[in-house]
Chains A and B, each alone.
Chain A
Amino acid sequence: MSWVKAAPLVPGSGKEEEVFDEEADESLLVQREWQSHMRRRVKEGYRDGLEAGKAVTLQQGFNQGYKEGAEIIMNYGQLRGTLSALLSWCHLHDTSSALISKINNLLDAVDQCEEHVLKHLKSVTPQPDVVDLLDSIQDMDLCHVVPAEKKMDEAKDERLCENNAEFNKNGSKSLSWVDCSSSECCATWEHAHSENPSLTWILEQTDSLVKQLGVSVDILQYLKQL
């Protein structure tokens, strides 16, 4: 943020004289014009940089998210598939409608569970618009006040927490994706596990259902890893 501090320094005129000196008005005007001009340059550069940076990492982010989403949701798919198999088995063997509606209920529960987890996965990374943030700070005319930088940093820090170290402050341009992905993974797994009460319930119900159907419990063996 050195430009924030740099902007008012460049014209370098003292403010004390402006009350007495008639020329000061003009220099103040020039100073303001210069500042707004430079701010525009910074903004322009910022926008271009933002687009360029985004273009470079979008695919990377996509791949990362894809892997995570696929691996976590796969388990729910397996559970739904198993229940679907049991449902079709019941239909073939004219099982009591009570059991059939029980399976249908469990399938609904899996759907809800899966939707919930997916929502969490998506909301792990909230997205405050940095351009808006920057613009609003500039509109507030805080730029020539030193604490403005502090404010930006605080805003960044908040996001830093929310995004699980999405920023790597030390490594200037190159963010450490390995670190990011591992911490993100942990976070999403925590979210996934926080869903476990209802998922555990579904698994328990499925277990008892399988016993009621007189089917070998082996059918659920591979689901245990959930």
Chain B
Amino acid sequence: MAGSEDPFDAIVMADDRFRGEGYQEGYEEGSSLGIIEGKRHGTLYGAKVGSEVGCYQGFALAWRCLLHSHAAVEKDSRKMRVLESLIGMIEKFPYHDPTYARLHEDLDRIRGKFKQLCSLLNVQPDFRVGAERPGLSF
């Protein structure tokens, strides 16, 4: 506290000291606010990616099951190949890692493969995969 040392020094240094104390406190508050704010944005973007990729995965896994259990449909092995390739791509995709450098690139490849699968399966994209969740913008 002021007074215990040279009082003139204390007065001269007061500006810096008070500013520094404010800074210190602000920094601590800012640190936790940064986490909260960052988290809010992160959650949204993560949810977008998770929702989209999860949707492709659910779709692909369900179709694999459908094709397997109905031998008549399964004769076309090209469908199966594309399906397996899509499933493999999704399994390898680190959807929960925002620091993954090729996130957008891989996501676009997955989207492309998904479209290819849809046209092979001859299904209309009138279902909601990604319909309300257009491209990611970050």
Contact = CB atoms under 8 A, between A and B. Distances in A.
B44 A75 contact: no
Given A45-B18, A63-B42, A67-B98, A53 B27 contact: yes
B30 A51 contact: yes
Interface residues of A, number: 84
Contacts of B68: 216
B69 A215 contact: yes
A2 interface: yes
Contacts of A59: 38
Contacts of B23: 45-46, 48-49, 52
A88 B26 contact: no
A91 B22 contact: no
B95 to A, nearest CB: 5
A64 B43 CA distance: 8
B38 A67 contact: no
B96 A67 contact: yes
A166 B97 CA distance: 22
Nearest to B56: A81
Contacts of A67: 42, 46, 96-98
A57 interface: yes
A69 B26 contact: no
Contact of B122 (A53, A72, A92, A184): A92
A50 B63 CA distance: 51
Given A51-B30, A54-B31, A219-B66, A61 B42 contact: yes
A127 interface: yes
B23 to A, nearest CB: 4
A69 B35 contact: no
A75 B57 CA distance: 10
Interface in A31-89: 38, 41-89
B83 to A, nearest CB: 11
B59 A53 contact: no
A60 B18 contact: no
A62 B24 CA distance: 23
B31 A122 contact: no
A143 interface: no
Contacts of A177: 35
A196 B76 CA distance: 39
Contacts of A45: 18-24, 26
A55 B41 CA distance: 14
B115 interface: no
A199 interface: no
10 contacts: A63-B98, A66-B43, A70-B49, A73-B48, A73-B54, A77-B52, A85-B59, A88-B124, A163-B36, A215-B66
